[in-house]
Structure 1
Amino acid sequence: MIESTGRIPFQVGDETFKTWYRVVGDLTSGIRPLVVLHGGPGIPNPYMYPLEALSTSHNIPVIFYDQIGVGNSSHLREKPSSFWTVDLFMDELDNLIHHFGISDNFSLIGHSWGGMLGSNYAAARRPPGLKALILSSSPASVDLWMECMNELLEAFPGGMRETVKRCERDGLLESEEYEEAMALFNKKHLCKLDPWPQQLLDSLALMAEDMTVTDHMCGREAFVCNATLKNWSVVDIVDQIACPTLVTNGIDDEVQWAGIRDFVEKIPKVKWVRFDKSSHVVMFEEQKRYLAEVGSFLTTV
C-alpha cells in the first residue's frame, strides 16, 4: 500500500501556516481521490482512519489532513475567536485540493463538523470538480444539532438531565458529576462499543492537548453553543449542492432526523442511509457495512 505524509504551506494574510496530510493509495492511478474532513471542530484524524481500507477494497486514494490548529498541523493558541471562521477552513481545503492537483476531479467525505464544513463548501463555493459528497452524522445547522441533542437528553432520568443543565449553566464542566452524566450520554449517542476503539481514544486525547479550535468555535458544552458557530446554517443554500450526495447517520446518533432532514429533502441528488446498530461513529460501530456503502457510492456516481 502506497502511503505518504507531509505538510502543505497555507497562506493566511501575511502569515504562513502548515497543514499536515496523510495520503493512502496512489494519486497517480487516475481514480478519483477522496478527501476526508474530520470532526470536532478540533478532533484530529486517527478516528477517521478506518476509511483507509477504501484504498484496497475499492482502489480509491484517500487523503487525510488535520485542519489548521489541530493535530499535526500548525497550532495557533494565540489567535482570537474572529480568526476561526468557516471561510478559513474552506480556504484551507481549497489550498489542499490545489496542492494535490485534483481540482477537476475529487470526492469529499465529512463526519460531524467535517460534514458541516463539506456541505458549506459544496453549497457556497460549488467547486466544479467535486463529483461526490458524503455527509456522515452531520447537521444542516447548529440550532438543529442542539435540538437533536436536547431531545435525546430528555430520554434520560430527570436527575441526570438536571445535573447536565446545571453544570453547563454554572460552568462546572470539569466536575465529577458532569463527567459521569456525560459518560452515560456518550455511551448511548457517541459510541456504543465497549471498550471504545483505540483510534477514537487517540483522537480525543490529541484534541484534549489543545482545545483552541473547539473552545473558539463550539465551546465545551454539549447541549448549547455559545461560540462562533452558534448561528451556522446551510439550510437556505443546501439546494445549491450540485453533486450526488450520500447522507448517513445512526439510529442512536447525536444527529437525528431533524438534523439531516434539510440535506435529504433539499439536495437534488441525494441518498440517505441509516445504520440501525450505531450512534455517532458508524465507521466503527458498523464498519463493514459503512465502508461497503461508502465504497459503492463513490465508485458508482
Structure 2
Amino acid sequence: MNASKPPQEGYASFGANKTWYRVTGDLQNGLTPLVILHGGPGCTYDTVDAFKDVAASGRAIIQFDHLGSGFSTRMVDKDPSFWTVELFLEELDNLLDHLRISQGYALLGHSWGGVLASEHAVLTPSGLRALIIANAPADMRTWEAETLRLREALPEEVRQVLIRHEQAGTLQSAESVQASQVYFERHVCRLRPWPEEVVQMFARGRCDSAMGGAAQRAEDFPLLGNLRDWSIVERLSRIQIPTLLISGRYDEATPTVVKPYLENIPDIRWALFESSSHMPHVEERVACMGTVVSFLDECL
C-alpha cells in the first residue's frame, strides 16, 4: 500500500439516493480489493472500521454506509415494505459497478452484513473471488432462539428488569439500558473499557438487536421485521468460492447459529477467537486482521 495515499471518500448515485463510501489503499495495484459490509441493520461503517488495517497488506479496502444509515441517504418516511434484502443487494452491485471492481473483489460481512454477503454469494456473481462471514446468522429463527437462551443465562435480577421494561415498552429507560449492558458486555464486546467505536454504536441506538422484542426492533429499523423468517441454509451449497467464517467464543452468534455455514459451504474454514464475543475485529484486533490477511493471501 502507498502509505502516503490518503483514504478516498465519495458517493455512488443509487437512483435518487446516494451511497457514501471510503477506499483505503490503491484500487489499481492489481490486488483483489476487499469490500466490507457493516452490521445492524442500521449501524454504520465505523463499527467495522478496524478492517481498514487490512490495507497495510497492500490490498485496497472499501467501506460504506448502507442506504438509510450514516453518511448515505437517510430515509425515515418509507413504508416498511421498502426495506428488503433485494434493495441492499442492488445497492452493493451498484457500488461495485461505480468503483469498477465488479469483475474481481472479495467480500466481508459482519453480523447483518454477513447476511447480506451470503445472499450476494449464493447468486454466484462471476467477480466474487472470496467470502468472509463474520459473526452472522444463517437463519433468523435460530438467531432469535439463541439470543433468548443467552439472555436466560443472565443473573435473575437482570432478567426481571429486562422483562419488566419489555412488557411496559420502556426499553430506553436508564434501568433497562443498564440491565442490557450486562448482556452486551458478555456477548457483544468484552473489552473494558469499550473502544470509542463500540460506545458510539450503542449511542446511536440502532444496533442493540438482542434486547427487546421483535416488534420493538422492527419499529427501530423495519428491515428487521422483514427478516424475521429469513433463512439461507438451504441455499448455502451454491457458494463454491473459498470462504472464511469468523466468530467469538462468547459470541451471540453461537456455534449453533453459525453451524449451517460450516455444514453447507464446501470450501470453508472457521476461525474461532477464544477471547472474543461478537466483535473479534475489536476485541482481538491484531489476531483477527492477521487471520483475514492470511486467508486472502492464500486464496487470491
- Whether the aligned pair in 2 keeps the contact of 1:246 and 1:272 (CA below 8 Å) is yes
How far, CA to CA, are the matches of 2:198 and 2:179 in structure 1? 20
Query: SS state of the match for residue 234, structure 2?
Result: coil
Is residue 8 from structure 1 mapped to residue 50 from structure 2 by the alignment? no
- Whether the aligned pair in 2 keeps the contact of 1:37 and 1:110 (CA below 8 Å) is yes
Normalised TM-score (structure 1)? 0.91
Amino acid at match of 2:128: L
The answer for the alignment partner of 1:143 in structure 2 is: 141
The answer for the alignment partner of 2:286 in structure 1 is: 288
Q: Which runs of 5+ in 1 are unaligned?
A: none
1:1-301 matches, cutoff 5 A: 1=3, 2=5, 3-11=7-15, 16-56=16-56, 58-123=57-122, 125-205=123-203, 207-208=204-205, 222=211, 224-226=213-215, 227-301=225-299
Higher mean C-alpha displacement, 133-142 vs 161-170: 161-170
Q: CA deviation at 1:221?
A: 6.1
Structure 1 residue ranges, 4+ long, deviating more than 4 angstroms after superposition:
none
Q: CA deviation at 1:220?
A: 5.9
Q: CA deviation at 1:152?
A: 1.1
1:69-108 Cα shifts (integer Å, max 9, x gaps): 0000000111110000000000000000111111111000
Amino acid at match of 2:9: T
Higher mean C-alpha displacement, 155-164 vs 108-117: 155-164
Q: Which runs of 5+ in 2 are unaligned?
A: 216-224
Q: Quick one: structure 1 residues 262 and 297, their matched pair in 2 at CA, closer, same or farther if it must change by over 3 Å?
A: same
How far, CA to CA, are the matches of 2:167 and 2:210 in structure 1? 9
- Whether the aligned pair in 1 keeps the contact of 2:249 and 2:273 (CA below 8 Å) is yes
Normalised TM-score (structure 2)? 0.91
Query: SS state of the match for residue 62, structure 2?
Result: strand
Higher mean C-alpha displacement, 219-228 vs 46-55: 219-228
